[in-house]
A and B are shown apart, each in its own frame.
Chain A
Amino acid sequence: MAIVFQRPHALRDTEMHYCPGCTHGIVHRMVAEVIDELGIEGTTIGVSPVGCAYNNYLYFNCDMVQAAHGRAPAVATGIKRVHPDNVVFTYQGDGDLAAIGTAEIVHAANRGEKITTIFINNAIYGMTSGQMAPTTLIGQVTTTSPFGRKPEIEGYPLNVCEMLSTLKGAAYVERVSTHDIKNIRNAKKAIKKAFQVQMAGLGFSIVEVLSTCPTNWGIDPVKALKWVEEKMIPQYPLGNFRGKDLEV
């Protein structure tokens, strides 16, 4: 009997700890499929974040390093400079990358550090139980913006891709979403291209993935997918911001 679906080799046979309806699992799988397709599991080194994905080093089959909150791009820089021929990626959430780690991501991108960042934007801090993130939408209720995010108090949602796309060192910048099959397919294409950009030595690459957090958003998984489509995408338009025409 032909096998039509199986676990990618780059994912370990381990039960994941993510909440029902969370899209981390989908993104993990896409990253692993890309690693398989590019045949780079043996040379890839991943960097885990602080946040819900803190222990995704248990899920990937490649070598993994766990980094302090926000510091993954700096840690990845250290690794990549020691092993320039390996493939190095970071996996970071929005609290990690867009708040405490803003300096690290901006400067890794600006140096054109040949690493790939998978950036999960779900507009909230998940692991610490639903606090406001830099990416939280205007009016969005969180445990630290209980009356809804107000620009005059908390400022505005931070559009990371738009910001990083102004940097010459950032070779490939794309925002994708996980709210339906079509977009998941696009997301995987972007992740693959981001890794290929790194492998071609073209510079820094990042894919921002709009994701769900039903638990902390306080809605069911189906509604959460709708919420991404209806609320997040208007603030965070999908598409390529840099490196669309790169040949890899």
Chain B
Amino acid sequence: MGEKILMKGNEVIAEAALRAGCRHYFGYPITPQTEIAHYFAKKMPQYGGTFIQAESEVAAMNMVYGAASAGARVMTSSSSPGISLKQEAISYSACAELPAVIVNIVRAGPGLGGILASQCDYFQATKGGGHGDYRMVVLAPSSVQELYELVVEAFNIADRYRTLCMIMGDGMLGQMMEAVEFRDSEDICEADKSWAVTGTGMKRDHNIITSIYIDPEVLEKHNQKLQEKYRKIAENETRVEVYNCDDADIIVAAYGTVARIIKNVIKTAEKEGIRVGLIRPVTLWPFPTAAFEKYAQVPQAFLSVEMSAGQMVEDVRLAVNGKRPVHFLGRTGGMIPTQKEILEKIREILK
């Protein structure tokens, strides 16, 4: 590892992508993630790469579709309203099995909403924001260092499975500065990209990248192939942090920056003699169901804390499967749950 430097989350995303071999970025400005584009705009020329500020989010994601078809490591980034616009090409890319990384630095919605931190896009990311039966890997880092690790990992997962991979953070993570230590070089998976369009060179049959299958039998077969791939991803790529859960009185489910608040809560609660555990999904899809199953009978109850009106809590309930009550505490609009209100909720549940 190199020396520690203090960097902004958004800049780390871009730096990590460059280190992971991403040389093509297509984006459109939107707060609170625009520093990603600033960083690429400045750095890409040094790497001989491409930075395009597209005419729209729609075009940006379709440029990603083109560049991924051509075999490149490619990325786009945006924030909630912009991610909505990208959904068309996200669905097409999922069907055409194109590897690419999409960053969503979530802001509060719905609509144009606000620009402050939120987790209100969990459903959109994990349950399919675009049309059709598809999945994408959704990684939710909770620190700037982890942001770096997971961006690099996202490119590898994308290439390994020919899948889309989303990094989901929030305005707080994108804007905050923390120490980050970069490795001297990255472990980049060497994926076979013989399927990509590069020109036949008159040496092989033509390659076709498509997402249209008019014949229902063929389309069903393609869907089955996709589902099999998603099953494999769920088997191999589920990531979760389990913290303080043995003998916990209550287990909190939280991801991203909210999980950091929970770690403070754990310390404060300890002083009151309350043992709080934390299950932090690092992959929001695939959801770490097994971790919840494993601890389902340990605490008196579960509590999902989110910056949303209650989205991940549905997956927590499915995973806990009625073995314990699952409670919910959420803030919306860019409001951040405070330690104090979380502790009060915990006391109330355990009363």
A-B complex is real: yes
**How far, in angstroms, from A61 to B201 measured CA to CA in the complex?**
11
User: Are B26 and A42 interface neighbours, CB within 8 A?
Assistant: no
Closest chain-A Cβ to B274's Cβ sits at a distance in Å of 52
**How far, in angstroms, from A54 to B59 measured CA to CA in the complex?**
19
The one of B66, B71, B206, B208 that contacts A75, using a Cβ cutoff of 8 Å: B66
Closest to A64 in B: B208
Closest to B203 in A: A42
In the complex, chain A residues whose CB is within 8 Å of the CB of B65: 65, 67-68, 71, 74-75, 78
Q: Kindly identify, within residues 24 to 45 of chain A, every residue whose CB is under 8 Å from any CB belonging to chain B.
A: 41-45
**How far, in angstroms, from A225 to B65 measured CA to CA in the complex?**
37
Closest chain-A Cβ to B142's Cβ sits at a distance in Å of 32
Closest to B68 in A: A78
Contact with B along A56-84 (1 / 0, CB 8 A): 01101111111110010011111111110
18 contacts between A and B (CB under 8 A): A41-B200, A45-B198, A58-B208, A64-B206, A65-B66, A66-B96, A66-B212, A68-B65, A68-B92, A71-B58, A74-B63, A74-B66, A75-B63, A75-B65, A76-B66, A78-B64, A78-B74, A107-B54
In the complex, chain A residues whose CB is within 8 Å of the CB of B332: none
| Interface size, A (range) | 35 or more
Closest chain-A Cβ to B300's Cβ sits at a distance in Å of 50
Closest chain-B Cβ to A62's Cβ sits at a distance in Å of 6
**How far, in angstroms, from A92 to B59 measured CA to CA in the complex?**
16
> Can you add 7 more A-B contacts, CB < 8 Å, to A55-B214, A58-B208?
A66-B208, A66-B212, A75-B66, A77-B66, A79-B69, A103-B58, A104-B58
Closest chain-A Cβ to B44's Cβ sits at a distance in Å of 11
User: Are B59 and A103 interface neighbours, CB within 8 A?
Assistant: yes
Q: Does A135 sit within 8 A of B, measured CB to CB?
A: no
Which A residues fall within an 8 A CB radius of B? 41-45, 47-48, 54-55, 57-58, 60-68, 71, 74-83, 86, 103-104, 106-107, 111
In the complex, chain B residues whose CB is within 8 Å of the CB of A61: 200, 206
User: Are B198 and A65 interface neighbours, CB within 8 A?
Assistant: no
Closest chain-A Cβ to B121's Cβ sits at a distance in Å of 22
User: Are B89 and A68 interface neighbours, CB within 8 A?
Assistant: yes
Q: Does B197 sit within 8 A of A, measured CB to CB?
A: yes
Closest to A39 in B: B202
**How far, in angstroms, from A64 to B68 measured CA to CA in the complex?**
13
Closest chain-B Cβ to A75's Cβ sits at a distance in Å of 4
Q: Does B209 sit within 8 A of A, measured CB to CB?
A: yes
In the complex, chain B residues whose CB is within 8 Å of the CB of A54: 212
Q: Does B207 sit within 8 A of A, measured CB to CB?
A: yes
Q: Does B52 sit within 8 A of A, measured CB to CB?
A: yes
